[in-house]
A = this chain, B = another copy of it.
Amino acid sequence: MSITKTPWLLTVSLPPPSLQNNIADADRLITALKTALQTDEAIHIDFDLLKILPDRLRKSDFSLRCILFKDRLGWRVIGIESDGDVRPAAGLAVDLGTSRVALRLLDLADGRTLAESGFDNPQLAVGPDILSRIHFTETSGGLARLNDLILGGLNRAIAAVCQAGGIETGNIYALALAGNTAMTHLFLGLNPRWIIREPYIPVINKPEVLKAAELGLQVNPLARILVFPNIGSYFGGDLIAGILFAGLHTAADTAILVDVGTNAEVVLGNANWMIACAGAAGPALEGGVTKMGMMAGPGVVDKMAIDPTNHAFALHSIEDKAPVGICGSGVIDLAAQLFLTGMVDIRGKLVPAVCGERLREIDGLMHLVVVPADQSATGADLTVSQAELDSLIRSKAAMYTILETLAMSVGMQLKELTTFYVAGTFGSFINPRSAITIGMLPDLPLDRYRPLGNSSLEGAARALASTESLAEIDRIRERITYLELNVNQDFMNRFSAAKFLPHTDTTLFPSISNQNIPHH
């Protein structure tokens, strides 16, 4: 028997039937696959394939190319093709983002990317965030509508990405999707209602592997759908994907992975243990706290500096367009620069003597002009208010306190971390130096900070690199200890201490404290 073995595709030549060897066609194929895989594990042939098996076997001289998937119950034969079939068997990795969905089409045989694509989550038409969408599911037909929206968007994108990759949708045999717990529920059509209500109960944490046809995805009907499992309502499959991609679960050294959104989701660990928690850090860190805050896009300020001598603002906006607003990384730069130049004090309060003409009183509240009207694209001042700065301080303090609490729970100090992974666009764009300056992230050497990019998509793609990935993903999930953030007096004390720039305990931030920061 000649065997060509790859993780997903296996070409087997079966001994033809004879009176001395007259086992059933299905048993003949399974026997050959067990030999080829050198396994005693159960192998099942999808029922629909049994309908074509006898003809295909005899027309291809008992030599078949099989497409396999390994789910939690064993091996599944999900495709049987003639030995000479050269069409690729494709996989599709999907980051199921609340705002944006990213897709990568790849060849299962070698992992090669065939095409990539992305689209704004069509559920944005119903609600910009998870909360508003979950409320919408409580209206009649709401859940079905949200489910239709995401499936429709996916099916359109799948058709386009297949065209770009030069394959038929029917050649997609495996999908891996990673998203937060609510998006996972909306994608599966499961009721997310109790996710957002105390005590925060999802319907499911570990979705079974389903067939594409069961979910209405327009790929090969027998294609298997691997949906990343969640830890709970506030620690989703996208984080598990991030861990898989970063390799946190296989490293000897302890590392931390942070994903920042409305919630800060954090996991700390190594090959031996992992501990995770999630906490409200506020939308400030994504730029959402300020009136001028927005997602990255043309004209959005993403980097800035303030001249320490003349307090001139040097702004960088995306595509160098006239400024329209500021995004998360810009806000953090702004706060750091205001602090370093003494324009805010260690409590984050604007210092009139230093800010000078940049201050405005609007509706009885102090505002700082970041971009004067004559330089902005809107024709109006782009400002940040004292209240908005206060909110940012609370968010950064929450972030730091969460990190500190998690480290303390395992008797570590944050400075011991050798690698600090920061996921998502936040990780790609923030200046770690600025984040350290305001005391949001710990004072580590900058080379220990590693942006992960779209780690949810990368983890999903990684899941399609091997038929053993699902088992690895489940092991990650089982290994994680989830720490319920207990907001007790200790936590509040640490939080209060973190509400200063960079921190009340300046020994925690030696690289900042040693700078010559003007004090008033």
Contacts and interface: CB of A to CB of B under 8 A. Distances in A.
B54 A24 contact: no
Interface stretch (A97-105, A189-197, A314-322, A416-424): A189-197
A202 B24 contact: yes
A27 interface: yes
A484 interface: yes
Contact of A193 (B27, B54, B74): B54
Contact of A203 (B24, B204, B233): B24
A199 interface: yes
B22 A54 contact: no
Interface stretch (A44-52, A168-176, A433-441, A494-502): A44-52
Nearest to A28: B201
A21 B188 CA distance: 24
A395 interface: no
Nearest to A190: B50
Contact of A204 (B26, B42, B207): B26
Given A24-B205, A484-B19, A51 B190 contact: yes
Interface in A4-35: 17-19, 21-27
B53 A203 contact: yes
Contacts of A26: 203-206
A201 B51 contact: no
Nearest to A202: B24
B42 A201 contact: no
Contacts of A193: 54
Interface in A124-167: none
Interface string A181-192: 000000011110
A189 B47 CA distance: 10
A193 B59 CA distance: 14
Contact of A201 (B17, B191, B201, B204): B17
Contacts of A190: 50-51
A283 B484 CA distance: 75
A362 to B, nearest CB: 42
A505 interface: no
Most chain B beta carbons < 10 A, residue from A26, A44, A55, A198: A26
A210 interface: yes
A70 to B, nearest CB: 13
Contacts of A27: 204-206
28 contacts: A17-B194, A17-B199, A19-B198, A19-B484, A21-B199, A22-B232, A23-B201, A23-B205, A24-B203, A24-B204, A24-B230, A24-B232, A25-B201, A26-B206, A27-B204, A42-B73, A47-B188, A47-B208, A50-B188, A50-B190, A51-B191, A54-B191, A54-B193, A54-B194, A54-B201, A54-B203, A55-B191, A73-B73
Interface of A: 17-19, 21-27, 42, 44, 47, 50-51, 53-55, 72-74, 188-191, 193-194, 198-208, 210, 214, 230, 232-233, 484
A-B pairs, 8 with minimum CB distance:
A26-B204, A22-B199, A73-B73, A24-B205, A19-B199, A24-B202, A17-B201, A54-B191
